[in-house]
Structure 1
Amino acid sequence: MPLRCLVALVGGLVLAAAFEPVGWAVLMPVGIAALILSVHGLRPGRAWIPSLLFGFTFIYAVMVWMRSVGTDAWIAMCAMETAFFVPLGLGLSWSMRHRLWPLWTALWWVGVETWRSGWPFSGMPFGRLAYATAGTPWADALPWVGMTGVSLLVALSGTTLAWLLLERPRPTRRVVAGVAGLAVVTLAPAVAAYPITPDGTATVAAVQGDVPGTGLNVPAVHREVTANHVRLTEELAASVDAGEAPQPDFVVWPENSTAVDPFLDEGVHDGIVAAADAIDVPVIVGGTNTNPLDDTEVLNQGIVYEPGIGGGDRYTKRHPVPYGEYIPFRDVSWMPSTYGRLTEVPRDMVRGTSLEPLDVAGIRVADAICFDVAYDDGIGGQVARGGQLVTVQTSNAMFSRTSQLDQQFEISRLRAQETGRWVVVAAINGISGVVRPDGSVVASVPARGQQVLLEEVGLSTTVTPAVRLGLWPSRLSLVFLVLSTGAAVFAYRRRRQSTDPTATAAR
């Protein structure tokens, strides 16, 4: 057992190295294989131990950027995420009794990954295997099978590698056939790319205004932040008027480009209106607004400001961050809602429900705000309803010195491939960028940069198979998890009954 535990601990670190800032995606099968080998041959009563250790090093390493919120928050959140590796270990142990255990164990990984990505409090999707595949052959399958399908391909690569190691030195025909089949399924999308039909082009400007001072605390300098975005937009307008730059069809500002309600703060409102009027095209502004139905709640929105008109169409963030943007069970007397940095969240943010794309200058825009990009429902749902282009408005200022920026930008690249859409990312102080539907980056602004990206992007209404499938792959992975657990419990009870002398005598 000590050797198994060591293999599991190292395996978790190896898998974490596949994600940014290291970004060695080729290590993912190795990390998964290490987990399988550490659990292989153990009964469920002991298999959860190496699995938990694997999860410990993997989760804490991948999400070390949470320390920017606070060491206590990092420890607490990662402890909760690590706990999911206990049922994973039980499931892996049971699955390895089946003939096709490489497939069963891969399905168990994906099922638990989906579970922890959506629960509790909307879950924590960072660390999904698919999110480390940018620039790899696995990512070519995204428009066909989506994030869940790609995670399954990666997991299956790892479990198959473990299968080969356990079958050596004479792999059977079954193993050889399995490896060949996996190679074909993985590489076929690179040869048969899903065709995306263009429907025209648009010129889009993404503004990264930066955050004064340390760059970590937007609320403390929010007026300067808004002023930066107003100034850069007006400078772009001057360049357009002078014939030095093309007129954009619309402009994108990041999340928290205004950290106060722009409809209640006269100074902020006037600045935004002045910028929209100067550039004479719509500006999608990231603003935190009071809920008109309940002034004790706030909405995180992308608001389309029309020149000469003001605020128009809106998108509301679907996945507010628990304990960062709202406090679960705030009204429960024993909850520490006034403890430490939780005092910085005086009002709860309410999640949006609409999947209707924004109408911006006649273009249907699928918008996402910050962590929304890590969830499968928002962007895909809007693209399925006619979104021709994807915009991501984000405020990662708190994480500007960490790998969170790189991890989230990689996810934006992958969403471009999954949906077959150009993606325009506007970050408050990094990383902003423009991404083609093949995941390649046209232009970007690094962290702490202050710049306007002005690029011509393509539009499309082609709906990829992944978008058509929507959330069904995730739902089916959870159904598999429930049915497999039920089958394992049923088999266990039957074995107990068959070996129970009392039950045998009664029969």
Structure 2
Amino acid sequence: MLLGEVDVTAPLTGLRRRLRQVSAIMTSVDTPGPASTEGRPLLRRFARPGAAALCGLLLFASFPPRPLWWLAVPAFALLGLTLHGRRPRSAFGLGYLAGLGFLLPLLSWTGEEVGPVPWLALVAAEALFVAFACMGIALVSRLPAWPVWAAAVWIAGEAARARVPFGGFPWGKIAFGQADGFFLPLAALGGTPVLSFAVVLCGFGLYECARQVLAHRRGAAVRRTAATAALLALLVPVVAALASRPLVDDSAEDGTATVAAIQGNVPRLGLDFNAQRRAVLDNHARRTEQLAQDVAAGKEPRPDFVLWPENSSDLDPYRNPDARAVIDRAVRAIGVPTVVGAVLTPETGKLRNTLIEWDPARGPVDTYDKRHVQPFGEYIPMRSFVRIFNSDVDRVRRDFGPGHEVGVFDLGGTQVGLVTCFEAAFDDAARDTVTHGAQLISVPSNNATFGRSEMTYQQLAMSRVRAVEHSRSVVVPVTSGVSAVIMPDGEIVQETAMFTPDALVAEVPLRSSLTPATRLGSAPELALVLLAAGGLGAVALGKVRTRRRATGEAATGADAA
């Protein structure tokens, strides 16, 4: 997007009049009036809760597959209007409504095959993080330059949600809705925390600018420092995004590699696709052998290596000779190193979601065990308790255990970092592979359980953000789609249709330099969390001082009496 295409004043056009009307309605809700509220119009009574829910819906609409990333900015402007100056308890309730409006539709795919109870339980828990963040935003909203403090508090909420409970659930980070957005280059500067912070700050800055304009029009005194801070909160994220564009580089520092991603498809949708594990394996082997024929016929270039998706072999090739023979035949046919996603079933202990490097001459030579295993999907915490609410937990008869080593395979001289499916949501998973030498990242996934829901597009957007964050090509092989090849600038150059066998073959640039985001690691997030803590601490200190002052004045008055 060129600078000439960005009108930073456009969001204010037409907003003033509506904001004045909405603000008057919302103010009247909190203005003391007659003891009876029976005659109060419903619009006034429910204006603020409705605005909170609308904010959440706008955030949902800003996420893929819709290219409406810009909706996140007015969503946070509306959230600022809703929360500014609110008391903590009121802000908590409004924040919970915003969280429900955002997460209920965003995470609807989690109930695709197991019904609404797990979906609603997950949303109810995750919305609490949004509610607590909104309570913090309301507390800091009276501080000078409050949009900065408030945006930092939101990032602190995202940081907490990415870590607890059960290892965290980062799905729904604001950054993951910005894969098509103007602010995307900021991912290379400071990772997803800085990208999210910029979007949130711009939204709060938009509201504060409008609030200052309305105050001036009403004849109220507007401090120059407050007006300047509001304008900076709106403009600095825009300028920072423009300044970060040179960090987005898709040049081939280390040459190129020709990579193939296999999408074999599954015989049927849903959780029961594992009942046809051999069919899934045969599909991927067959599509690889077809690619080998196309290469021999000159229809496709010869790949340097091949990537299969997660769960492409749910039959353990170390324990099942037939599965090993099928894989070996396909890999020998294509004649290059191939990464196979398999479920390993040791005699004792937990299962392993494993990627195997399969050499055409030597067979399996290296493995990577998925480190971030999915709670309630790959293992069941509190199984006996959860069973009370949903018997589908027993479909996971044996829990998966996490690996502990970073996955980087040497595939024909190319260092390929491995980030398995759910791991793409975690900042450390992709970053660790790059700091361990990955020149390219692979995100093998299995989305068959979630049918034709938006889940696959949400996850694909994460991979696009990771590509820019670490300036690496990202290849996403998926069992049933959407598989894709992504350039280091986040552009998708090839992708498949859903539930269609296919093979993507593309030449991609290899890179070894590190972006500031990769070098800084979790430092930007820590800095923003500390900033949030500083703002909340300032509020607490101010309340303590006010209380002491009131106590001292009361004591002085008593002595005088």
- Measure, in 2, the Cα distance between the counterparts of 1:358 and 1:195: 22
**TM-fit CA distance, 1:9:** 1.0
Range with bigger deviation, 30-39 or 20-29 = 20-29
Distance 1:499 1:206, change over 3 A: same
For 1:350, the equivalent position in structure 2 comes to 401
CA contact (8 A) 2:471 2:488 kept: yes
Q: Alpha carbons of 1:120 and 1:481: their partners in 2 closer, same or farther (altered >3 Å)?
A: farther
**1:250 and 2:305 equivalent?**
yes
Contact 1:395 1:429 in 2 (8 A): yes
Q: Single out whichever of 234-243 and 257-266 deviates more from structure 2.
A: 234-243
Q: Alignment partner of 1:199: what SS?
A: coil
Letter in 2 for 1:425: V
The structure-2 alpha-carbon separation of the partners of 1:477 and 1:119, relative to structure 1 and needing over 3 Å to count, comes to: farther
Question: What do residues 266-318 of structure 1 show as CA deviations (whole Å, max 9, x unaligned)?
Answer: 21111011111111111100011135xx7230111111011121111122212
The offset of 1:470, in angstroms, is 1.4
| 1:18-417 pair list within 5 angstroms | 18-68=62-112, 69-169=114-214, 170=216, 172=224, 173-174=227-228, 175-190=230-245, 193=248, 198-214=253-269, 217-291=272-346, 295-330=348-383, 334=385, 336=387, 339-417=390-468
Task: Indicate the structure with greater strand content.
Answer: 1
Correspondence 1:4 to 2:55 = no
Q: Could you say which structure has the larger radius of gyration? A: 2
What stretches of structure 2 of length at least 5 have no aligned partner? 1-28, 30-45, 217-221
Number of residue equivalences: 503
The reply to whether residue 471 of structure 1 matches residue 526 of structure 2 is no
Q: 1:450: which partner in 2?
A: 501
Task: Tell me by how many angstroms 1:335 deviates.
Answer: 5.6
Q: Which amino acid aligns with 2:67?
A: G
Report the secondary structure of 2:349's partner residue: strand
Contact persistence 2:373–2:402 (CA under 8 A):
yes
Greater CA drift, 488-497 or 277-286: 488-497
Q: Deviations over 1:221-266 (max 9, x none)?
A: 1110100111111111122233332221111110010112221112
Change (3 A) 1:338 1:96: closer
Give the distance between the partners of 2:65 and 2:491, measured in 1 at CA: 18
Q: Per the alignment, do residues 77 and 388 of structure 1 end up closer, same or farther by CA in structure 2, a change over 3 Å counting?
A: same
Conserved? CA contact 1:416–1:437, under 8 Å: yes
Q: CA offset at residue 338 of structure 1?
A: 10
Unaligned runs of 5+ in 1: none
Distance apart, 1:126 and its partner CA: 1.4
Counterparts of 1:31 and 1:63 in 2: how far apart (Å)? Answer: 18
Question: 1:217 Cα shift?
Answer: 3.4
Deviation at 1:123, TM superposition (A): 1.5
State the Cα distance separating 1:344 from its structure 2 match.
Answer: 1.1
Q: TM-score, normalised by structure 1?
A: 0.93
TM-superposition CA deviations, 1:154-209 (whole Å, max 9, x none): 01111101101211144745133443433312322236645855201111110000
SS of structure 2 residue aligned to 1:296: coil
What is the aligned partner in structure 1 of residue 25 from structure 2? none
Paired with 1:305 and 1:340, the residues of 2 have a C-alpha distance of 38
Q: Runs of 4 or more off by more than 6 Å in structure 1?
A: none
Deviates further, 333-342 or 405-414: 333-342
- Contact kept, 8 Å, 1:196 with 1:420, in 2: the verdict is no
Return the TM-score normalized by structure 2: 0.85
Residue-by-residue CA offset, 1:439-466 (whole Å, 9 max, x unaligned) = 1111100211110111111111111111
Matched position secondary structure for 2:419: strand
CA distance in 1 between partners of 2:231 and 2:98 (Å) = 28
User: Aligned partners of 1:98, 1:496: CA distance in 2, in Å?
Assistant: 18
